[in-house]
Structure 1
């Protein structure tokens, strides 16, 4: 017992509270060196102080307890925990950049109004036949999915070869951010009266979309990057509500000009939301 510290002294030395030490014991992150069988009192080795301080810092960085456990296990096995820590910090920096952009967009909208920065127009579209590949995901998985989906669809289209009738577009069936996942469909429109695709891989299909009326706005440059582009979606949604239309389907992000690199200033997108006159039964 001479080299063991009771939990109170260990808490003072490590900077962790007694309740935190009990929690980390229960979760298997920092078990005590000895537990008195009669009193249940916990004792820790002096060399555990360094581990406890590391846990304290990792938790202050909002690293989940499961990830902390994994990092400590790797460190005990002789692995360098620095790469995992660097990856976490990079992800935290990315989240902070998104949050700053969201706050900036919100402040701009509150002070100026979304429609002031986005001109909304109406256009008609006839029936369309499209190659479709869909997935349910959050925004973090969006870029990788779309890149792979369009590569596969263009490969299928080239075997036809298909005659394209317009630019590629993406249909969003809900909000796609880091808090929500939704069905996202990559779409490639082609002429229904010419060559048709064959040998479709799993997960890819052909779909006929009906004619539509769209409320639209275009974005380019910095405004076309995430999350700044969310303001444009809001502007179109506000316009639809203000003009008494009903939402008639998932919103589209049409690739009017796509450089192949997200957030590139040369990108130009159209946000197109299907609309219809509200039903007479609508209160």
Structure 2
């Protein structure tokens, strides 16, 4: 190996704009490996042509691209792929995150200045026992819209084979936090008349029937842009706050009920209900799990 073509890590750091610590980290993570490591001293050397690659890595990290994505993008580029589409996709994702952050800050300021109770009026309604046709999946918020569209298409097709008589609007049950940091079980639900036709026996995987008990629901309504993510999160917080403030216990997954839905998330005609089952702390919920397993 021609040592004249190599730069020691200190000089390479100066040329690339990366620190020695960062270069060691990128070596360990498989992003940018040195061309030569002295077996006696362990000192790292890089080829001069690697400076351009290191500068590219520095720029990608300045865009807040995760190290894993940087490694994948470099591997595809070495393989002859054009990196430009990936950069545009990263920019679009960053713009979406920024828009979400703007909405979250706006909602937080509103709650701090006006209070959640001023924005969302929480009331109580009694809900009868229900039999629902369910399509479930574990996912993050980024996959929620696509899942619900597909799930309800499948559920309405299955319901038509019954044919089932619907007893109320479609709703979604969230068994945990559904955002970009957390994934949870999400259930698309269609309530149907229990004494009518039965659903098909050969339900596909992920589709089942639930028997939901009679319960009390703390609920509030949101309409238009307030029904879109992330603005809608304030409605969930308001209902949860009402339950805790009144010293009740949560008695099941929270619901998002489609009172009116146009198919466009921020359409002014959309109207959703956020409803959370609750009970006195001494009561015990006995809701069964999906057929073939525990809920």
Partner residue of 1:129?
131
Q: 1:94 Cα deviation (Å)?
A: 1.2
Partner residue of 2:151?
149
Moved more, 88-97 or 159-168: 88-97
Q: 1:280 Cα deviation (Å)?
A: 8.3
Partner residue of 1:6?
8
Moved more, 51-60 or 260-269: 260-269
Q: 1:271 Cα deviation (Å)?
A: 1.0
Q: 1:22 Cα deviation (Å)?
A: 2.2
Q: How many residues are treated as equivalent by the alignment?
A: 281
Partner residue of 2:57?
55
Separation in structure 1 between the aligned mates of residue 167 and residue 251 of structure 2, nearest angstrom: 22
Separation in structure 1 between the aligned mates of residue 36 and residue 239 of structure 2, nearest angstrom: 63
1:2–1:124: structure 2 CA closer, same or farther, 3 Å change rule?
same
1:134-177: CA deviation from partner (whole Å, max 9, x where unpaired): 12221112112111111111000111111111100011122211
CA RMSD of aligned residues (A): 1.7
TM-score (norm 2): 0.90
Q: 1:14 Cα deviation (Å)?
A: 0.9
Query: Which runs of no fewer than 5 residues in structure 2 stay unpaired?
Result: 285-295
Tell me which of 202, 205, 210 is aligned to 2:208. 205
Query: Which runs of no fewer than 5 residues in structure 1 stay unpaired?
Result: none
TM-score (norm 1): 0.93
Tell me which of 266, 274, 277 is aligned to 1:274. 277
3-state SS, counterpart of residue 146 of structure 1: helix
1:53-101: CA deviation from partner (whole Å, max 9, x where unpaired): 0011111222222221221122222211111121122112211211221
Partner residue of 2:288?
none
Partner residue of 1:225?
228
Partner residue of 1:72?
74
Separation in structure 2 between the aligned mates of residue 124 and residue 254 of structure 1, nearest angstrom: 15
Q: 1:190 Cα deviation (Å)?
A: 0.7
3-state SS, counterpart of residue 150 of structure 1: helix
Mapped pair 1:28 → 2:30 = yes
Separation in structure 1 between the aligned mates of residue 211 and residue 78 of structure 2, nearest angstrom: 57
3-state SS, counterpart of residue 189 of structure 1: strand
1:262–1:33: structure 2 CA closer, same or farther, 3 Å change rule?
same
3-state SS, counterpart of residue 134 of structure 2: strand
Partner residue of 2:192?
190
Q: 1:32 Cα deviation (Å)?
A: 2.2
1:251–1:26: structure 2 CA closer, same or farther, 3 Å change rule?
closer
3-state SS, counterpart of residue 154 of structure 1: helix
3-state SS, counterpart of residue 263 of structure 1: coil
Separation in structure 2 between the aligned mates of residue 241 and residue 66 of structure 1, nearest angstrom: 41
Moved more, 42-51 or 109-118: 42-51
1:51–1:252: structure 2 CA closer, same or farther, 3 Å change rule?
same
Tell me which of 58, 81, 84 is aligned to 1:82. 84
3-state SS, counterpart of residue 272 of structure 1: strand
Mapped pair 1:100 → 2:99 = no
Separation in structure 1 between the aligned mates of residue 20 and residue 205 of structure 2, nearest angstrom: 54
